[in-house]
Amino acid sequence: HPAPILSLANAFGADEVKAWHQRILRLLPAGTRLQFVVEPKVDGLTVVLHYRDGQFVLGATRGTGDVGEDITLNLRTLRSVPQQIPVSPGQAQKPALLVVRGEAYMTDQDFRALNLSQENNGRKTFANPRNAAAGSLRQ
């Protein structure tokens, strides 16, 4: 990875969020005002997508944070992973290098459908959606 891909921290209640906020404020100049964007954490497999001159060239897991496992070929099979950065004529140019961090995950509905298919074909079912999604990308 061009920069370490760190693990995200969890907070399970208001007190933990307040403590995290106080730790952040101690790192900043006094009087700094912060704004936040908050979204639910998706429990998936961290993937790092590399685009060169607008083309998808590498996909890796988070791995150690410094080095991940190359899963490019399997990521190319996912319709939700753009193979190129879409730019319309007259818009900004594609960057020479763009690295994007995201989560690969399977919805509960897709997980149930996968397990039903596995069952109907006499195959082993999966324990949970995270492992099913991560396993399929890492094989």
Cite the active site residues: 41
The order of strands in the sheet holding 97-104 is 55-61, 45-52, 97-104
- Residue 90: burial class (beta carbons within 10 Å; 0-12, 13-18, 19+): exposed
78 Cβ neighbours under 8 A, 6+ residues apart = 104
CA 139 to CA 123: how far, in whole Å? 17
CA 126 to CA 133: how far, in whole Å? 10
Residue 130 half-sphere exposure toward CB, CA atoms < 13 A? 7
Angle between helices 108-120 and 129-138 (to 10 degrees): 70
